[in-house]
Amino acid sequence: NAGVTQTPKFQVLKTGQSMTLQCAQDMNHEYMSWYRQDPGMGLRLIHYSVGAGITDQGEVPNGYNVSRSTTEDFPLRLLSAAPSQTSVYFCASRRISLGVDGYTFGSGTRLTVV
């Protein structure tokens, strides 16, 4: 199993550019989510989804869009990148039907906005 796969691993954007961070999982997990990690801040929830066609906002959703057309994929879109979005982004997933269990995290995307 590949687990949770994030692409790209590194990205540099100019202010105002748009891009999509990809997240795919092959574990048939219903729940998927995006976090951002900033120094001294821990990880903060951006958006999450409990299944295809269902998404909701987390703690810091502004500036980000998501959609969930399939169980496997949960892309995160930055429509107009800002320097404040420089961060490391993690995708995480878990199986809802197994109750509360540990989340499986991807290896992250390091994004720099200049």
Partner 1 sequence: AQSVTQLGSHVSVSEGALVLLRCNYSSSVPPYLFWYVQYPNQGLQLLLKYTSAATLVKGINGFEAEFKKSETSFHLTKPSAHMSDAAEYFCAVRGYSGGGADGLTFGKGTHLIIQP
Give yes or no for residue 43 binding partner 1 (CB under 8 A).
yes
Of the candidate residues 22, 50, 72, 73, the single one contacting partner 1 (CB under 8 A):
50
Strands 10-13 vs 109-113: parallel, antiparallel or unpaired: parallel
Give yes or no for residue 63 binding partner 1 (CB under 8 A).
no
Shortest distance (Å) from residue 40 CB to partner 1: 6
**Count of residues for the chain?**
114
Give yes or no for residue 58 binding partner 1 (CB under 8 A).
yes
CB 91 within 8 A of CB 29: no
Shortest distance (Å) from residue 90 CB to partner 1: 6
Strands 109-113 vs 76-78: parallel, antiparallel or unpaired: unpaired
